[in-house]
Amino acid sequence: MMLTGLGVAWVISERTGEQAGSNPQRGVVWAGLAAILQASGAVLSRSVLANSTLSPLWSTMLRLVGGLGILLPLLLWQSPSLAIGLIPRSWRWLGAVFIAAFGGTYLGIWLQQTSLKFAPAGIAQTLLATSPLFVLPIAAALGDKVSLRAILGVIVALLGIGLLFLAA
């Protein structure tokens, strides 16, 4: 798991061009909080999915409805003009939002919940953390330059995944 994490960290820590943000300590705090909450959510989901008859599909629906129930009022409270931004601008825009929401959010969470039902939380989360690696072939296909460092990071992460499956 550590080798996989190091490989992914190596890929995503590569600096290219201008770096946004003027307060890295604040970013580290938020990243740490996100990691703790992500791990807590994975352990809780694993516990519920492994010890009940709840399906990953229903678990996904419950997570998304719960998230929407918290996020939407919060966003509307913070920015009342956001309600105007929620109105579809065109059918093409609405289609793009649907594809992103369905493919990126719904299917992603459903597959995550499925992995947590059938695999230990640590292994599932390790494999889920490799998602940045899948962007590299897409970036290369779109004409972006993929560095040797990024390719070596992918190799390190894949070696970690190989060891993970050999040990399991």
Per-residue pLDDT of the chain (168 residues; tens, 9 = 90+): 788 888 888 777 776 555 556 677 888 888 889 889 988 988 999 999 999 999 999 999 998 999 889 988 887 777 766 656 666 677 887 788 888 888 888 998 999 999 999 988 888 888 888 888 888 888 889 888 888 888 888 888 889 888 888 876
Q: Which residues of 49-74 are buried (b: 16+ CB within 10 A; e: fewer)?
A: beeeeeebeebbeebeeeeeeeeeee
Q: What is the pLDDT of residue 56?
A: 93
DSSP per residue over 76-119, as a string? HHH-TTHHHHTS---HHHHHHHHHIIIIIIIHHHHHHHHHHHHS
Q: What is the pLDDT of residue 58?
A: 93
Q: What is the pLDDT of residue 110?
A: 93
CB 146 within 8 A of CB 139: yes
Rg of the chain (C-alpha set): 19
Q: What is the pLDDT of residue 88?
A: 66
Domain spans in the chain, listed from the N-terminal domain onward? 2-10+25-167
